A = this chain, B = another copy of it.
């Protein structure tokens, strides 16, 4: 009751939402992905750096190339998912900063001239955007199956370039009847939060 978000929205995005391991055949359209992106692009990042890049793996040939780099337990469900997205960090995001952060266009050179600083910032902020994207998938009434069990270097070489680091792969679709494991326990508030 301390929340103002509608309870149905709470359920859709968090309480009833579950990582999905199986999906129906219903396709996920580009229009849906665009609607998701156009919602979650407003989620905050440091200096509005927005380093998330998304590769939609649609063709059967590309799907096959992706699956070989996944952990064994992630292969079958990814091969069968209606849509698979590779989420990656653009380590050259600073090139866009003068446009994305116009009230301090010097940020590009002051903070991000060095690649290691960019990689650190991109890793954190891409993860933030990946989380917003997962919330957005649920906002579209779809289920997400996020995975970090893959050979990142293999996926990078297969689909990206030296300037991009894959951080997560997400299966997307309408959940099948057997999509969900039982909800695992969460840490209690008192285990997570301390006050000083």
Contact = CB atoms under 8 A, between A and B. Distances in A.
Nearest to A190: B34
Interface residues of A, number: 84
A45 to B, nearest CB: 9
A147 to B, nearest CB: 8
B184 A100 contact: yes
A37 to B, nearest CB: 5
Given A12-B4, A44-B144, A123-B123, A132 B135 contact: yes
B42 A15 contact: yes
Contacts of A4: 12, 139-141
A49 to B, nearest CB: 10
A146 B46 CA distance: 8
A157 interface: no
A146 B146 CA distance: 24
